[in-house]
């Protein structure tokens, strides 16, 4: 695949330096399931505005990735996710990374695209980028990270390749509809929501 590389356990110093030059990067994770306390983190994908994608294979039992932590915690690089709530929870639980600042394209889509209930990445990218993502590898075994198939690697790369462009188009829509400030407030709440999720508090704001 073009502009795609794989690292084991962490970013190299050279690759880290390149990503630190960006004002914004896209981030995604692949895990064994949807419960951070049960399902381990297997892969972390990054993409810069030039479309350079890096996938980091996380080993079973691995508890840190210092260069990745430095990148995801630095304050002058914005991190764009789709459904950030899950990804930043699994990064915190598995690697001790407190990601910030954050932009979530799923939250932005729900605030901006109120004419639809379809806010999955495939639907958002198809509408805003006119690209149809192949999601056939979505529910597959990411645990064998050393031997991922070409289809899995392509899927992982495409999960981050379009997020930066999608972000800007959603910002334009949010500003047009007068909801940009509200969206930013939602993003700022995410670390607290993740803390509640990891402590397994549910419906805390309900009666």
pLDDT of residue 106: 99
From 70, 58, 61, select the one nearest 20 (Cα to Cα).
Answer: 70
Pairing outcome for strands 53-57 and 41-47: antiparallel
Query: 148: which 2 tokens?
Result: 């991922």
Furthest C-alpha separation in the chain: 52
- Where are the domains positioned within the chain? 4-198
Query: 39: which 2 tokens?
Result: 């399902």
- Predicted confidence pLDDT, tens digits, the chain (207 residues): 668 999 999 999 999 999 999 999 999 999 999 999 999 999 999 999 999 999 999 999 999 999 999 999 999 999 999 999 999 999 999 999 999 999 999 999 999 999 999 999 999 999 999 999 987 766 789 998 888 888 898 899 999 999 999 999 999 999 999 999 999 999 999 999 999 999 999 989 898
Q: Which residues pair with 54 in a beta bridge?
A: 5, 46
pLDDT of residue 146: 83
Other CB atoms within a 10 A radius of the CB of residue 186 amount to: 18
Alpha carbons 160 and 80: distance in angstroms, whole number: 9
Could you say which architecture CATH assigns to the domain 4-198? 2-Layer Sandwich (3.30)
From 44, 5, 8, 9, select the one nearest 28 (Cα to Cα).
Answer: 44
Q: Where are the alpha helices (DSSP H) in 52-162?
A: 66-73, 84-95, 105-112, 121-129, 150-161
pLDDT of residue 1: 63
Alpha carbons 43 and 8: distance in angstroms, whole number: 9
Phi-psi region of 43 (alpha: psi -120 to 50; beta: other; left: phi over 0): beta
Query: 147: which 2 tokens?
Result: 């031997």
| Neighbour-count burial for 92-109, b at 16+ CB within 10 Å, e otherwise | bbbbebebbbbbbbbbbb
Phi-psi region of 116 (alpha: psi -120 to 50; beta: other; left: phi over 0): beta
Angle at 167 between CA 29 and CA 162, to 5 degrees: 55
pLDDT of residue 59: 96
Q: Which residues pair with 147 in a beta bridge?
A: none
Give the pTM. 0.95
Alpha carbons 6 and 118: distance in angstroms, whole number: 31
Alpha carbons 43 and 201: distance in angstroms, whole number: 27
The dihedrals phi and psi of 12, each to the nearest 5 degrees, come to -75, 165
């Amino acid at each position: 695949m073009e502009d795609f590389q794989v690292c084991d356990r962490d970013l190299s110093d050279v690759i880290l330096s390149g990503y630190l030059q960006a004002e914004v990067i896209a981030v995604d994770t692949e895990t064994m399931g949807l419960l951070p306390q049960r399902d381990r983190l297997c892969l972390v994908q990054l993409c810069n505005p030039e479309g350079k994608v890096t996938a980091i294979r996380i080993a079973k039992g691995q508890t840190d990735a210092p260069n990745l932590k430095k990148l995801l915690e630095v304050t002058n690089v914005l991190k764009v996710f789709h459904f950030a709530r899950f990804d930043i929870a699994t990064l915190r639980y598995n690697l001790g990374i407190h990601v910030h600042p954050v932009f979530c394209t799923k939250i932005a889509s729900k605030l901006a695209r109120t004419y639809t209930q379809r806010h999955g990445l495939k639907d958002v990218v198809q509408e805003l980028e006119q690209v149809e993502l192949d999601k056939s590898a979505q529910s597959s075994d990411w645990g064998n990270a050393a031997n991922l198939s070409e289809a899995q690697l392509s899927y992982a790369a495409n999960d981050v390749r379009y997020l930066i462009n999608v972000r800007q188009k959603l910002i334009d829509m949010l500003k047009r509809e007068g909801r940009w400030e509200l969206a930013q407030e939602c993003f700022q709440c995410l670390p607290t929501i993740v803390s509640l999720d990891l402590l397994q508090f549910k419906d805390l704001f309900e009666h």
